[in-house]
């Protein structure tokens, strides 16, 4: 008998076979293709057999899966039917999957405003909250990226990326002329923006602003904004980070700008929210969407006013 903890792995496996693709399965589950692959791999490791193989047309069930696949399909069809029946009884719950930095730096600090207006709505965000986690698609998925063909999503806001460092390092670097200010100074690289076509990396920034810096590609690397900001707060160097999520820290003086804000540039990608197609009739989801769009518009307007450059 498969352990209950592997139910999500079975769900990912069944959907990957049915859609013949990790990417399509990820779309259906509201997670990344890599996460789908990890769930299937965990199940294969648990059972000690290969469950999927790649064919010319996509993923195919391996021989070890073929006998079990009809049972698996019928089982999840029954679970989906049960979930639809129970959907009417789950009350006012919102299930959200979002980029962790977006949640920690932008959503959670503002969520109390929505909760004060709608105290009966419970949340489960990235598997945690006052609403229990459930199987199936989330109500809202928020990610950072560009538009995707066939995917309907709300653009919340783009980001404006500038050099960021600690107040102490702002003071130290202010004694050095801008052209050589970074020479010999530790650089912290934030890979959050590495796929953005706007070129939001230290080598791009140094070249665009005529700043001298030997080896601008070297230095500590982080994927998460929060990790890079922790390094900055510890006076470990200077990073390139977007202002959209850290406006409060900048305003409170937790971080500072070692160069004029005009040296930054807008991201080509943006934070986008994708809601379930059956949002009609779900008034609590509609209310959250309206609130999210209003808060995002306020962030975008404030950001444009602070940098003095339109995102268009």
Mind listing the domains of the chain with CATH numbers?
4-87 (1.10.10.10), 92-312 (3.40.190.290)
Helix 283-307 vs helix 108-117: angle between axes, to the nearest 10 degrees? 130
- What is the pairing mode between strands 52-55 and 187-190? unpaired
Residues 6 or more apart from 272 whose CB is under 8 A from it?
142, 143, 144, 145, 147, 153, 154, 155, 156
Rounded to an integer, the average pLDDT of 63-89 is 74
Q: Where are the alpha helices (DSSP H) in 88-165?
A: 100-102, 108-117
CA distance linking residue 240 with residue 207, whole number of Å: 14
**pLDDT confidence of 5, banded at 50, 70, 90?**
low
Given pLDDT bands bounded at 50, 70 and 90, which one contains residue 161? very high
The residues pairing with 158 across neighbouring beta strands, listed in sequence order, are 270
Tokens found for residue 32: 């990344």
The CA distance from 277 to 139, in Å, is 9
Strands (E), 193-262: 220-222, 238-242
Give the pLDDT of residue 88.
46
Q: How many other CB atoms are there within 10 angstroms of residue 148's CB atom?
A: 12
On whether the CB atoms of residues 158 and 267 are closer than 8 A, the answer is: yes
CA distance 49 to 278: 38
Question: What are the pLDDT digits (tens) for 8-60?
Answer: 888 888 888 888 888 888 877 777 888 888 888 888 888 888 888 877 767 88
User: Which of 67-71, 101-105, 135-139, 261-265 is predicted least confidently?
Assistant: 135-139
Averaged pLDDT for residues 91-106: 91
Asked whether the predicted pLDDT for residue 216 surpasses 90, the reply is yes
Please report which confidence band the pLDDT of residue 4 belongs to, taking 50, 70 and 90 as the band edges.
low
According to the model, what pLDDT value does residue 291 have? Answer: 97
Structure tokens at 59: 């993923």
Using DSSP's 3-state secondary structure scheme, residue 256 falls into strand
Three-state secondary structure call for residue 52: strand
225-235 pLDDT, tens per residue? 999 999 999 99
pLDDT of residue 239: 96
Mean pLDDT, the chain, whole residue set: 87
Q: What is the DSSP string of 39-50?
A: HHHHHHHHHTS-
Burial class (CB in 10 A: 0-12, 13-18, 19+), 268: middle
For residue 187, give the nearest of 147, 161, 160, 222 by alpha carbon. Answer: 222
Compute the distance between CA of residue 195 and CA of residue 35 in angstroms, rounded to an integer: 19
User: Residue 82: its pLDDT value, please?
Assistant: 67
Is the model's pLDDT at 1 over the cut of 50? no
Residue 204: pLDDT band (50, 70, 90) is very high
């Amino acid at each position: 008998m498969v352990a209950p903890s592997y139910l999500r792995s079975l769900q990912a496996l069944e959907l990957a076979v049915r859609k013949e693709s990790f990417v399509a399965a990820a779309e259906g589950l509201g997670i990344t293709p890599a996460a789908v692959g990890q769930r299937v791999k965990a199940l294969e490791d648990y059972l000690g057999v290969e469950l999927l193989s790649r064919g010319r047309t996509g993923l195919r069930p391996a021989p070890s899966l073929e006998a079990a696949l009809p049972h698996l399909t019928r089982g999840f069809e029954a679970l989906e039917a049960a979930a639809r029946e129970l959907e009417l009884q789950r009350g006012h719950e919102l299930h959200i999957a979002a980029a962790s930095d977006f949640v920690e730096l932008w959503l959670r600090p503002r969520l109390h405003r929505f909760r004060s207006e709608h105290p009966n709505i419970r949340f489960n965000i990235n598997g945690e909250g006052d609403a229990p986690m459930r199987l199936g698609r989330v109500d809202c998925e928020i990610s950072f990226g560009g538009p995707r063909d066939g995917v309907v999503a709300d653009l919340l806001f783009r980001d404006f990326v500038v050099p960021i460092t600690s107040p102490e390092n702002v003071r130290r670097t202010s004694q050095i002329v801008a052209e050589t200010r970074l020479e010999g100074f530790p650089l912290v690289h934030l890979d959050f923006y590495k796929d953005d076509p706007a070129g939001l990396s230290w080598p791009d920034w140094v070249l665009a602003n005529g700043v001298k810096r030997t080896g601008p590609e070297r230095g500590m690397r982080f994927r998460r904004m929060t990790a890079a900001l922790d390094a900055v707060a510890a006076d470990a160097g200077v990073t390139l980070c977007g202002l959209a999520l850290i406006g409060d820290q900048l305003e409170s003086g937790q971080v500072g700008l070692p160069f004029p804000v005009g040296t930054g540039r807008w991201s080509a990608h943006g934070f986008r929210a994708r809601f379930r197609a059956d949002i009609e009739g779900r008034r609590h989801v509609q209310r959250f969407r309206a609130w999210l769009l209003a808060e995002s518009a306020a962030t975008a307007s404030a950001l444009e006013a602070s940098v003095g450059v339109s995102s268009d």
